[in-house]
Amino acid sequence: MVLIRSIDVSPSLVNCSCAWASDYQQLNDLYQCPYTGAVTTRTATLDGFEEDETHTVAFMKDSLSSLNSYGYSPVPLRQYLEWIREFLGDGRSVKPFIISITESSAEKLSEMLVTIQQFRTSNSAWRSRIAVEFNSSCPNIKGHPPPSYHLPSLKPFLDVLAKAFHDDSTLTIGLKLPPYIIATQFRDVIECISSYTHPNSGTRTNPFAYFTCTNTLGNSLVFGDQARAPDANADMSESHFAVPPGLGGLAGEAIHALSLGNVYTFSRLLAQSDDPAMREIVIIGAGGVTSPEAVERMNRAGAKIVGCATLLGKEGVKAFEILSGNAQ
């Protein structure tokens, strides 16, 4: 069991926000799975993302890795809330939901948070079963580079999230971060987040309860002959690129070492922080988690909770049975 503020994640395995957590049936399967400790929705926007045939995924031939060109979910926030209302009301589980959200402007993000807060407060028992994760790191949105690579662009969104927390300190907020590669990037993120710590009833509190490290690695290229055919009749050798745009977000085993490095670096910097509120931030480790051994490596690097997406895409919810070491 791992507590992130009031959110109880038990067991400490979760799905990452991804295309395989998009619709009702996918969320229901994750919710009913005994090996997931929480369910994370695919990243929602206020009105839904316009998805087309260029938004897809390819799995590699030579490793359990993937390249995707997906944007955000075509399902709008209100539909996710309707589904979550049904799940939370059925009495079958006390498993929490993490609602992954993003928007193109801080104003729209604020509107989403107001809607979520109205939903959370409609039933007092739901306050400890709904968290929010801000996806600041999708690399596939044309004209909208991930704001978490440019902190001045990120701060307006952080301001809105911090205000939502100050208005209601029972709200658990996480940040989904990209893979960083330079030491100064990690230190700058820590300094930025620490600036939001403030006294709350005599205790120093930071609005941000956890980091998910990492999202996919953008600007990655895979050729068609490197990818598995989606079905027996398909010939990927005739496809120039594995995904139609060519470039996409790399995930799975191909980024495992980089993701471990991000988890380790953030874990160390948080533990060494002079700010006691920063030392309370939990890390969800993700990136190339395809085996029980990979889960253990994430834990050794500093992750309290471990997430996966690529294995979920390949195996369905059996992925979590595999990761728990219980698969036959």
What tokens appear for 197 in the block?
């710590």
Q: Where in the chain are the domains? A: 2-49+70-222+251-324
The dihedral of CA 243, 29, 33, 112: what is its sign? positive
* 3-class SS of residue 245: coil
More reliable by pLDDT, 325 or 200:
325
Q: What is the pLDDT of residues 125-161, one digit of tens each?
A: 999 999 999 999 999 999 999 999 999 999 999 999 9
Select from 312, 269, 264 the least CA-distant residue to 288. Answer: 312
What tokens appear for 310 in the block?
């690529």
- Position 229 scores a pLDDT of 82
Q: What is the pLDDT of residues 61-116, one digit of tens each?
A: 999 999 999 999 999 999 999 999 999 998 888 999 999 999 999 999 999 999 99
Q: In the predicted model, what is the mean pLDDT of the chain?
A: 95
On the CB side of 68, how many CA atoms lie within 13 Å of its CA? Answer: 21
Q: Which amino acid makes up residue 26?
A: Q
Select from 146, 52, 139, 159 the least CA-distant residue to 104. Answer: 146
- Position 237 scores a pLDDT of 56
Q: What is the mean pLDDT of residues 229-241?
A: 65
Q: Which CATH class is domain 2-49+70-222+251-324?
A: alpha beta
Above 90 in pLDDT, residue 301?
Answer: yes
Backbone angles phi, psi at 314, to 5 degrees: -85, -40
